[in-house]
Amino acid sequence: MIEKKVKLGNKLGLHARAAAKLVQLGETFKSEIKITKDNVEANGKSILSVLLLAAPVGTELDFIIQGPDEEKAMIAIASLIERQFDEGE
Amino acid sequence: MIGILIVTHGSLADEIMKTCFKIIGERDNVGAYSIQWDDDPTVATRRIEKLLKKLDQGDGVLVLTDMFGGTPTNIMISLSKNFHVEIVTGVNLPMLIKAITTMNIFNDLSEFAEKVKQQGQKNIYKVSDILSMKRL
């Protein structure tokens, strides 16, 4: 199991399209992905669950990933967030 | 594979499908039919029949309508005698996202319709309840 805090830098935070990209990326890995913020835990492979986090710009999300490809998954997810979901903002 | 058809009054069906595709990307086997206010119900019924034939790949079609008792739902009820459909009313965006993103994992139309109904209901929130939960 690995854990990492990642800060959202994109203007709109974890909005619907960003959440969809995150979940679609997460679905490509076998590992279980949990995201927590303010006592709310979301399933990183469900867009509706991720949207419940209601995370605006500047929010720090805690990713807990467990499974055979956990390291690859964490690198890919952190990279997507660092690239600001490829939104160009 | 199960197909999905959205049928509503006004332009809602087309717009909610476009909005959903904008969020999760375009998907196959999903259709929309918006019944405009001046449309002849007989013509609308014939067009919906064509769409159902196209969308039914063997496991039936989940039809999401706007409101029980309205023309879109009533037309679908009349068509349900001749087509393998399940109708769920009260279409909303979370319901549609859930339906489209899970349609590949279901083979049983009735079970899929039940799940989509539950998700549509479950994803309606009073926002202040969620925000107070987060402050705990």
Locate the domains of chain B by residue range. 3-134
Cβ contacts of A54 on chain B, cutoff 8 Å: 130-131, 134
Cβ neighbours of residue B61 closer than 8 Å, sequence gap 6 or more: B2, B3, B4, B5, B52, B55, B83, B84, B85, B109
Q: How many helices (DSSP H) and strands (DSSP E) are in chain B? A: 6, 4
State how far the Cα of B85 lies from the Cα of A12, in Å rounded to an integer.
39
Reported confidence tier of residue B132, pLDDT bands at 50, 70, 90: confident
Instruction: Measure CB to CB from residue B23 to each of A17, A38, A54 and give the nearest one.
Output: A17
Cβ contacts of A16 on chain B, cutoff 8 Å: 23
- Cα angle, residue B40 at apex, residues B35 and B45 outer, rounded to 5°: 65
> What are the DSSP calls for B94-118, one per residue?
HHHHHHHHHGGG---HHHHHHHHHH
pLDDT at B60 over 60: yes
Res B15: pLDDT: 98
Res B119: pLDDT: 95
With tokens 């039914």, the residue in question is: B56
Express as a percent the part of chain B with pLDDT over 90.
93
Q: Residue type at A2?
A: I
Res B4: pLDDT: 98
A21 CA to chain B: closest CA distance, Å?
8
Where is A24: in which H helix or E strand?
A: helix A16-26
Where is B61: in which H helix or E strand?
A: strand B61-65
CB contact under 8 A, A38 and B97: no
Residue pLDDT, tens place only, B29-58: 999 999 999 999 999 999 999 999 999 999
Spot the catalytic one: A9, A12, A15, A52: A15
Cβ contacts of A37 on chain B, cutoff 8 Å: 134
Reported confidence tier of residue B135, pLDDT bands at 50, 70, 90: low
Residue A13 region, left (φ>0) first, then alpha (ψ -120 to 50), else beta? left
Instruction: Measure CB to CB from residue A40 to each of B25, B123, B134 and give the nearest one.
Output: B134
State how far the Cα of B112 lies from the Cα of B115, in Å rounded to an integer.
5
**ipTM reported for the complex, 2 dp:** 0.84
CB contact under 8 A, A16 and B23: yes
Reported confidence tier of residue B13, pLDDT bands at 50, 70, 90: very high
- Which class is domain B3-134? alpha beta
Helices B12-24 and B93-102, axial angle in degrees (round to 10) = 60
Instruction: Tell me the count of A-B CB pairs closer than 8 A.
Output: 29
Residue A24 · residue A85 · CB < 8 Å = no
Residue pLDDT, tens place only, A10-51: 999 999 999 999 999 999 999 999 999 988 899 999 999 999
Mean per-residue pLDDT over chain B, rounded: 95
B132 CA to chain A: closest CA distance, Å?
11
Res A16: pLDDT: 95
CB contact under 8 A, A48 and B123: yes
Q: Residue type at A1?
A: M
Q: How far apart are the first and last CA of chain B?
A: 43
Indicate if A15 belongs to the active site: yes
Residue pLDDT, tens place only, A47-84: 999 999 989 999 999 999 999 999 999 999 999 999 99
Fold (CATH) for A2-86? Histidine-containing Protein; Chain: A; (3.30.1340)
pLDDT at B136 over 60: no
Using the Cβ of B105 and the Cβ atoms of chain A, whether some distance falls under 8 Å is answered with: no
Res B3: pLDDT: 98
Using the Cβ of B135 and the Cβ atoms of chain A, whether some distance falls under 8 Å is answered with: yes
Maximum separation of any 2 CA atoms in chain B, in Å: 55
Q: Which of A32, A30, A31, A6 lies closest to A85 in space, CA to CA? A: A6
Domain boundaries, chain A: 2-86
What pTM was estimated for this model as a whole?
A: 0.91
